């Protein structure tokens, strides 16, 4: 059990951090022995096997440790071997010659020190972990730092310090048993065909991009001749499409049903047509209005539901008004036949009150927290999380968006460059787990975009890596059940017990028992060695049987230890 000492006002950030780092913990209780204590406040007179002090202010323990503080600074890039970590709040650095060994640096300055003795370790960090968590889950990361899973890296670092101190660890990783990570495929349905856009800005924009724009891309070497000819043919066919004599090449559903055959996905539908929404902060706000709404495609929504796909709300005003959010939810609920729906805001609009407003409106989850300009980790994590200020609403973060990859005014990548960007996010998913949420818009497979072939290659890559594919509701439900698992106080056998009251968890959770690194005379004997652990699948039932399996995994690791307090 980890004992946590936090400053006033950090309770929600602490609780959410330990939902993401799902391991036994509690707020520090005086008089109780802990092998690990994590603090962002002053340190009581204790001597745990591992003490981790996160503070951007000088602490009374610094003088006792022999740590000399330098001046504070705001924001920095930290490095720890091959790890880069962005700090968004205050950072305290330490003088060269301070006691202990530097373990983290900010440029040439020391930002973290590890001090070892024969029976204990202190890690002194110059930043406040829970202030960082609050910033990431509320404001998010700027575009320049989008590529780094900052919050997931904070979790990994704390895990490593615990194991390096020779302490075992029980954890429920953020990915199911028998899988390496989670994938959620989503589609924002802004158009259901070009036939509804006669002589409006969408039609004229397409006509220009499919002719002059396509020729320019061909000359630049970014568009193949075959695609140039297809673009010109599509533009030339517009009169026939409008007359109903030619196929509408923007119609999305048939193509996606074939591309994703056997894979679940979520379609976010506009609730009301010809509504641009209020208080839109972006330019050309009138263009946010659509020419269709969910009631206009009853045949296709019926097909999607029959095939097991999910319908969600592509919200207009729900981000700033709970009453309008309820109306938008009701419009899609009528078609979907269920009330527990998710939402993604049109144009990804949100403000600091959006999570609480969506919760009041009755949404089960939101999937707006992502970027229009780039791909990556707005909240610094690949995990489903609860936005601070919400009680039940969960956030399914958005990571990869087609428009962010390919639009010239955004990243404007070639397909080869986009594959590298996506490969990095996939590698992170394999390392950290969590969910990789992909957004591919309705007409992205068609002329003039031609992003369908890239999407098919992305799907093939994801299929090959043993990910679990789920709709937004299924993925959020799995993480919600993981959140409901409790760690009860360790009994006399020194082994933590897990308790869960809820529906069966499918796919099962992965209960992981880590073996600590062996230490001899206070020194690590296997630095850099692969972590040893035991994984136990668990579907939430038979808690007593699970206790026996966990004990069987833990006790051999503890056989040579004189006492056990952490598990």
Q: What is the pLDDT along the chain (567 residues), one digit of tens a residue?
A: 899 999 999 999 999 999 999 999 999 999 888 999 999 998 888 889 999 999 999 888 898 889 998 878 888 999 876 778 899 999 999 999 889 899 999 988 999 999 998 889 999 999 999 999 999 999 999 999 999 999 999 999 999 999 999 999 999 999 999 999 999 999 999 999 999 999 899 999 999 999 999 999 899 888 899 999 999 999 999 999 999 999 999 999 999 999 999 999 999 999 999 999 999 999 999 999 999 999 999 999 999 999 999 999 999 999 999 999 999 999 999 999 988 899 999 999 999 999 999 999 999 999 999 999 999 999 999 999 999 989 999 999 999 999 999 999 999 999 999 999 999 999 999 999 999 999 999 999 999 999 999 999 999 999 999 999 999 999 999 999 999 999 987 655 556 788 899 999 999 999 999 987 665 444 444 444 556 899 999 999 876 667 666 666 655 554 444 333 232
First to last CA, the chain: 6
Determine the Cα–Cα distance for residues 471 and 188; give it in Å rounded to an integer: 14
Based on its alpha-carbon atoms, the radius of gyration of the chain, rounded to whole angstroms, reads 26
The owner of tokens 């309770």 is 11
**Residue 2 β-bridge partners:** 25, 36
- Per the structure block, which two tokens stand in for 76? 């920095």
The ranges of the chain annotated as CATH 3.20.20.370 are 181-193+250-477
- Are 27 and 61 contacting, i.e. CB atoms less than 8 angstroms apart? no
Write out the CATH class of domain 2-165. alpha beta
DSSP code per residue over 435-479: EEEEE--TTTTSTTT--HHHHHHHHHHHHTTTEEE--HHHHHHHH
Report helix angle 322-336 to 354-361, nearest 10: 50
Q: What pTM was computed for the model?
A: 0.93
Write out the CATH class of domain 181-193+250-477. alpha beta
Q: What's the maximum distance between 2 C-alpha atoms anywhere in the chain?
A: 84
Determine the Cα–Cα distance for residues 365 and 398; give it in Å rounded to an integer: 12
Determine the Cα–Cα distance for residues 61 and 198; give it in Å rounded to an integer: 71
The ranges of the chain annotated as CATH 3.40.50.880 are 2-165
Nearest Cα residue to 248 out of 313, 172, 193: 193
233: three-class secondary structure by DSSP: helix
């Amino acid at each position: 059990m980890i004992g946590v000492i936090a400053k006033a006002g950090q309770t929600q950030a602490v609780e959410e951090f330990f939902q993401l780092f799902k391991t036994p913990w509690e707020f520090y209780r005086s008089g109780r022995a802990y092998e690990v204590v994590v603090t962002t406040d002053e340190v009581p007179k204790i001597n745990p096997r591992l003490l981790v002090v996160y503070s951007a202010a000088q602490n009374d323990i610094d003088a006792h440790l022999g740590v000399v503080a330098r001046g504070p600074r705001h924001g920095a890039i930290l490095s720890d071997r091959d790890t880069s970590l962005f700090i968004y709040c205050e950072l305290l650095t330490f003088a060269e010659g301070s006691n202990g060994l530097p373990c983290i640096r900010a440029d040439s300055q020391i930002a973290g020190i590890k001090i070892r003795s024969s029976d204990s370790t202190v890690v002194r960090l110059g930043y406040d972990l829970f202030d960082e968590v609050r910033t990431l889950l509320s404001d998010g990361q700027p575009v320049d730092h989008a590529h780094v899973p900052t919050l997931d890296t904070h979790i990994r670092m704390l895990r490593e310090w615990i194991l390096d101190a020779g302490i075992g660890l029980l954890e429920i990783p953020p990915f199911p048993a028998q899988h390496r990570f989670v994938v959620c495929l989503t589609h924002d349905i802004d158009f259901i065909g070009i036939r509804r856009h006669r002589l409006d800005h969408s039609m004229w924009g397409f006509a220009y991009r499919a002719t002059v724009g396509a020729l320019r891309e061909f000359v630049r070497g970014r568009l193949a001749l075959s695609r140039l000819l297809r673009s010109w043919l599509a533009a030339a066919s517009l009169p026939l499409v409008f007359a109903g004599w030619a196929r509408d090449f923007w119609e999305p559903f048939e193509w996606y049903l074939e591309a994703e055959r056997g894979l679940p996905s979520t379609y976010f539908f506009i609730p009301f047509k010809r509504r641009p929404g209020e208080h839109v902060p972006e330019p050309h706000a009138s263009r946010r209005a659509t020419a269709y709404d969910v009631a206009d495609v009853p045949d296709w929504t019926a097909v999607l539901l029959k095939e097991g796909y999910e319908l969600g709300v592509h919200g207009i005003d729900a981000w700033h008004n709970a009453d309008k959010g309820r109306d938008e939810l009701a419009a899609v609920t009528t078609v979907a036949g269920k009330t527990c729906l998710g939402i993604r805001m049109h144009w990804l609009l949100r403000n600091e009150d959006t999570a609480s407003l969506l919760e009041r409106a009755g949404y089960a989850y939101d999937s707006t927290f992502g970027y229009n300009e780039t791909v990556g980790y707005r909240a610094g994590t690949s995990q489903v999380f609860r936005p601070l200020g919400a009680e039940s609403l969960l956030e399914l973060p958005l990571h990869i968006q087609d428009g962010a990859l390919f639009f010239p005014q955004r990243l404007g990548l070639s397909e080869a460059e986009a594959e590298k960007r996506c490969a990095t996010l996939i590698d992170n998913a394999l390392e950290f787990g969590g969910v990789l949420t992909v957004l591919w818009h309705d007409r992205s497979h068609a002329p003039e975009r031609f992003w369908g072939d890239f999407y098919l290659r992305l799907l093939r890559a994801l299929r090959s890596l043993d990910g679990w594919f789920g709709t937004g509701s299924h993925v959020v439900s799995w993480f919600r059940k993981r959140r409901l698992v409790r760690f009860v106080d360790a009994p006399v056998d020194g082994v933590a017990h897990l308790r869960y009251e809820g529906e069966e968890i499918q796919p099962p959770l992965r209960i992981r028992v880590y073996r600590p690194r062996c230490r001899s005379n206070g020194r690590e004997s296997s630095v850099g060695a692969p972590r040893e652990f035991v994984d136990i699948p668990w579907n939430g039932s038979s808690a007593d049987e699970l206790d026996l399996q966990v004990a069987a995994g833990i006790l051999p690791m503890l056989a040579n230890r004189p006492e056990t307090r952490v598990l």
